[in-house]
Structure 1
Amino acid sequence: MDSVNPMNVLKLLEEDYKQLFQLDGQPSEADKQLKELVKSSSLALEEDL
């Protein structure tokens, strides 16, 4: 599997979702929890590789 650059993934997701969501809003508690889940999943994936 090729190396994944998280910043490129974020750019791709931003392109997909910027029409649906406002980027200038404050992160909610759910947003922060999801960030931690994604971050920990990413670290676990890196360890497996």
Structure 2
Amino acid sequence: MPLAADAVRFKGIERQDYRTFVAAYGHDVTDWAGFDTFADLCELRGLSS
């Protein structure tokens, strides 16, 4: 999840590198309806540490 949030929101990794990861993993969590909420929580955790 942190990798997906980083790729989508902050462009921390190249989109093609993320797609390669998704292909190997077999599922893209950004397609999940709860992705935005969970990504927000990941960001909050990062800010609060």
TM-score by length of 2: 0.37
The higher radius of gyration belongs to 1
TM-score by length of 1: 0.37
Identify the structure with the greater helix proportion.
2
